[in-house]
Chain A
Amino acid sequence: MAVVPNHGSRSRNHNRSISFRHSLDSRKKRTISDKPVSSSACKNTTISILSLRQDFHTCCRGFLRIKLWVRASLLLKKKAARRRHRADDLCSNHKDSQAHVVEVVDDRIEEHSSTDGSGGKKKLVEFSREPFLPLKEEEVAQVNSAFSETNSMKILVSHKKSYIQIAGNTLQCLMPTQWLNDEVINLYLELLKERETRDPQKFFFKCHFFNTFFYVKLARDFGYNYQAVRRWTGHSKLGYNLIDCDIIFVPIHIGIHWALAVINNREHKFMYFDSLKEEVFDPTILDALAKYLVDEVKDKNEKDIDVSSWNKEYVTESPKQQNTYDCGMFMLKYIDFYSRGLSLQFSQKHMPYFRLRTTKEILRLQAD
């Protein structure tokens, strides 16, 4: 007999706990579930019902949780879309305000410009997002694996046309704080040339990229010597005449520093970019290039041109490096931006990204 009240109290306890739980749930369920508890049924049935009920609750909660989660993710998506939309609007405004230079590359902006009805694909903007597009995850992974120690002796890339092969230890010069190697620079210049021939519609200027040895052969070793580079630019070799190019890029290596000289055939001027120095420039470099251009035209086209009136411009407002190791990267990006026809709108803070991006482009043998 002593067992019964015990049992009774226990069942009552259950009852209480159940009713407490049920107050959270819908009424209909309570009426159904209350029946077996109120009747003095055996312990087993109540327990089985209890477990059933618990299952039902967990299910319910799970379902609710999923529902909440779905709703939250939907909200997030909507927010992101709204933000993107706003950014696009900003971009298009920015574009409208500036009337200068070069087409739009990003698809999204393109759509906008077409809806604006303010021109076709060849819209001119001062600023393009394309040179700053972030890398995809797998591209970053590819770059990191190429930098790994196990790849240091392996030949990672071989470019057929220029016979340049790049092994892992050479590619490692693109890691942060490293000095760029001539092979990397020459290969990247080849890729830039290929980019232009692949997509001539996208580039306004016809460019020629000399390799890093050109200036050394022309003027560095024993004074100016045209004969040393006379055969570098034959029509059969290049497929075009040098004088037909709008812009000619000449990378210049001074001891331990990379700089860039540009022959701008379209605007009739010589330009010199240095990412380090502020004011002191060596006039012999541009003088030698002026002389070279005269000799080249005389030799290949049998014409005399007068370059004495051409401006010699030492560009001082170009982006400058803040350290001692990014000169090569700055030079490559001067070339990249200038050949796209963009203004040089980048700075020291973009250099880690540019290093990654250049590595990716070299690994895939395709400059974007």
Chain B
Amino acid sequence: MSTTTKVYERSKVKKEGAKRNVASESTHVTLNVKGQDEEGVRVFKVRRKTKLLKLMQYYSDMRGVEWNTFRFLLDGSRIREYHTPDD
């Protein structure tokens, strides 16, 4: 039992997404999310003031895992759920 939980912890480490700000408009912004273990990029259109928690939950739902399994990074530093695209 203990070994399986350990492996789970490890698989957590491997999953992480990169997010890039591509185009900026006045109220909305397009974010590209790229999972580490998938080739394609998923495009999201988000309001500038919305907390990224929503996006993270949506993305995780699409991948079928809990939202806090992923580590979201922008240029190598962590993004938290309480950040907004403006940050």
Interface residues of A (CB under 8 A from B): 162-165, 173, 178-179, 181-182, 210-214, 216-217, 220-222, 228-229, 231-234, 237, 253, 255-256
Contact = CB atoms under 8 A, between A and B. Distances in A.
B31 interface: no
Contacts of B75: 231-232, 234, 237
Interface of B: 6-7, 9-10, 12-14, 16, 18, 36-37, 39, 71, 73, 75-80, 83
Contacts of A233: 76
Task: Describe B's contact surface by its main secondary structure.
Answer: mixed
A181 B77 contact: no
Given A210-B76, A256-B7, 13 more contacts: A173-B9, A178-B6, A179-B6, A179-B10, A211-B76, A213-B71, A213-B76, A214-B76, A220-B36, A222-B39, A231-B75, A231-B76, A256-B10
* 5 closest residue pairs by CB, A with B: A232-B76, A182-B13, A163-B78, A231-B75, A163-B80
Contact of B18 (A164, A173, A211, A228): A228
Nearest to B38: A221
A228 B9 CA distance: 25
Contacts, number: 52
Task: Describe A's contact surface by its main secondary structure.
Answer: mixed
Contacts of B71: 182, 213
Nearest to B34: A228
A198 B10 CA distance: 32
9 contacts: A173-B9, A178-B6, A179-B9, A213-B16, A217-B36, A221-B36, A231-B75, A233-B76, A237-B75
B80 to A, nearest CB: 5
Nearest to B82: A163
Given A181-B13, A182-B13, A163 B39 contact: no
B39 A162 contact: no
A333 B39 CA distance: 35
**Which interface residue of A173, A213, A237 has the most chain B CB atoms within 10 A?**
A213
Nearest to B39: A222
Contacts of B10: 179, 255-256
Contacts of A178: 6
Given A179-B9, A182-B13, A213 B80 contact: no
A253 B14 contact: yes
Contact of A221 (B6, B9, B37): B37
B62 to A, nearest CB: 19
A311 to B, nearest CB: 28
A222 B37 CA distance: 9
A177 B83 CA distance: 35
